[in-house]
């Protein structure tokens, strides 16, 4: 028993020592990332305004690129909330609030929920905040037909990726929650007022029609892809979820989060967030060091790897089967249930 305990301690020291080498920001790289993300995004807005005089097809093409930069700006926002982008907490907060305005997201509210997500990822007893709602097969089995229908509608790709992302960024981000502090609630409302002020300024500058023709496709494309990224990072074949009694930080960070291997250009636009197993192991590692940490340490190579095409299969996985320790589709669950009854 003592030998096993010692081995576990040695393993913990190994990964803790490894990530400690990357657990600090590089101010020059952080500022450069802000410049190469925010400046191109603003320039693309100028080009999209001008492109409306030429062809809306050209505007839509530019909006795809602009959406990529919006996602990249969101990653900066995300890192600031973890305190990993700058050494100064105040600077992280200032830049976080600033970049949050670009993505219609209140800094304090989002990061409160996101930190809960990090501390409960893969924990079946602590679902519900900062994650995609997922039921177990036993829970689904006990639901009424109407409740099952609502759950299936929510988890359907058309709603989850086609409708929900815009509802989240435009509407849900505007509301406070009961468990939030007074300060956090104030910042939600201040963010909303600031977003409204920016929208009104843009409408005054380029007109309502032009603003909507540009902002809606940019936000929609970015929001859909952002939600998709978040989804596949914890909803995939071979993911691990456990009850609180068996939950372990390192194990669930590595096995409860995916390595989403993307083409280099998409990896750049998504700020290396595909190295999600590394990020969950240490949120203090800035996004521009995640790949380096993964590549330089074989300790992190034996992880669940997802590619673009394999990620598409995850859309049908909607229930967690505690007996088989797998995410399964509702169809396969019903098929197994009917076979057991026959």
Mean pLDDT to the nearest integer, 237-251: 89
Q: Which of 106-110, 210-214, 272-276, 302-306 has the lowest mean pLDDT?
A: 302-306
Q: What pLDDT shows up at residue 180?
A: 87
**Average pLDDT of the chain to the nearest whole number:** 91
**337/196: higher pLDDT:** 196
- Report the SS3 class of residue 321: strand
DSSP 123: B
pLDDT at 2 over 80: no
Give the span between the Cα atoms of 320 and 329, in whole angstroms.
9
Using only C-alpha atoms, the chain has a radius of gyration, in whole angstroms, of: 21
Q: Read off the pLDDT band of 7 (50, 70, 90).
A: very low
**208/339: higher pLDDT:** 208
In b/e form, how buried is each residue of 207-241, taking b as 16+ CB within 10 angstroms?
Answer: eeebbebbbebbbbbbbbbbbbbbbbbbbbeebbb
pLDDT at 341 over 80: no
β 305-306/259-260 pair status: parallel
Mean pLDDT to the nearest integer, 32-58: 97
Q: What pLDDT shows up at residue 8?
A: 45
Q: What pLDDT shows up at residue 299?
A: 81
Q: What pLDDT shows up at residue 334?
A: 84
pLDDT at 342 over 70: no
Q: What pLDDT shows up at residue 12?
A: 53
Answer yes or no: are the C-beta atoms of 195 and 101 closer than 8 Å.
yes
High-pLDDT (> 90) share of the chain, %: 69
Mean pLDDT to the nearest integer, 308-312: 85
Q: What pLDDT shows up at residue 301?
A: 81
Give the span between the Cα atoms of 282 and 118, in whole angstroms.
10
Q: What pLDDT shows up at residue 311?
A: 86
Mean pLDDT to the nearest integer, 10-24: 77
Q: Read off the pLDDT band of 103 (50, 70, 90).
A: very high
Q: What pLDDT shows up at residue 259?
A: 92
Mean pLDDT to the nearest integer, 9-29: 80
Answer yes or no: are the C-beta atoms of 276 and 257 closer than 8 Å.
yes
Question: Residue 329's closest CA among 240, 337, 120?
Answer: 337
Q: What is the pLDDT of residues 127-178, one digit of tens each?
A: 877 778 899 999 999 999 999 999 999 999 999 999 999 999 999 999 998 8
The partner residues of 209 in beta bridges, in order of sequence, read none
CA dist 164 → 127, 161, 171, 240 (Å) = 19, 6, 10, 25
Q: Read off the pLDDT band of 251 (50, 70, 90).
A: confident
- Report the SS3 class of residue 18: helix
Mean pLDDT to the nearest integer, 191-198: 97
């Amino acid at each position: 028993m003592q030998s096993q305990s010692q081995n576990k301690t040695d393993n913990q020291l190994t990964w803790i020592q490894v990530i400690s080498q990357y657990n600090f920001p590089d101010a020059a790289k952080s500022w450069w990332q802000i410049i190469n993300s925010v400046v191109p995004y603003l320039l693309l807005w100028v080009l999209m305004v001008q492109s409306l005089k030429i062809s809306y097809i050209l505007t839509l093409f530019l909006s795809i690129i602009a959406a990529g930069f919006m996602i990249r700006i969101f990653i900066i926002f995300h890192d600031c909330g973890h305190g990993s982008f700058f050494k100064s907490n105040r600077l992280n907060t200032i830049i976080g609030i600033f970049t949050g305005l670009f993505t219609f997201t209140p800094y304090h509210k989002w990061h409160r929920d996101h930190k809960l997500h990090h501390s409960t990822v893969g924990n079946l007893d602590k679902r519900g905040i900062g994650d995609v709602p997922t039921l177990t097969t036993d829970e689904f089995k006990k639901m009424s037909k109407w409740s099952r229908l609502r759950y299936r509608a929510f988890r359907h790709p058309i709603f989850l990726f086609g409708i929900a992302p815009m509802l989240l960024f435009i509407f849900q981000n505007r509301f406070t929650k009961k468990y939030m502090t007074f300060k956090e609630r104030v910042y939600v409302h201040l963010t909303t007022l600031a977003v409204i002020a920016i929208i009104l300024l843009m409408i005054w500058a380029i007109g309502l029609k032009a603003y909507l023709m540009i902002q809606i496709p940019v936000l929609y494309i970015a929001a859909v892809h952002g939600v998709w990224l978040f989804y596949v990072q914890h909803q995939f074949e071979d993911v691990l979820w456990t009850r609180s009694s068996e939950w372990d930080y390192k194990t669930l960070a590595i096995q409860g989060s995916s390595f989403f291997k993307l083409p280099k250009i998409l990896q750049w636009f998504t700020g290396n967030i595909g190295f999600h197993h590394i990020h969950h192991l240490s949120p203090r590692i800035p996004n521009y060091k995640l790949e380096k940490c993964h590549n330089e340490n074989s300790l992190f190579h034996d992880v669940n790897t997802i590619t673009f095409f394999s990620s598409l299969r995850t859309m049908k996985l909607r229930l967690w089967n505690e007996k088989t320790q797998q995410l399964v589709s509702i169809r396969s669950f019903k098929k197994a249930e009917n076979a057991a009854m026959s």
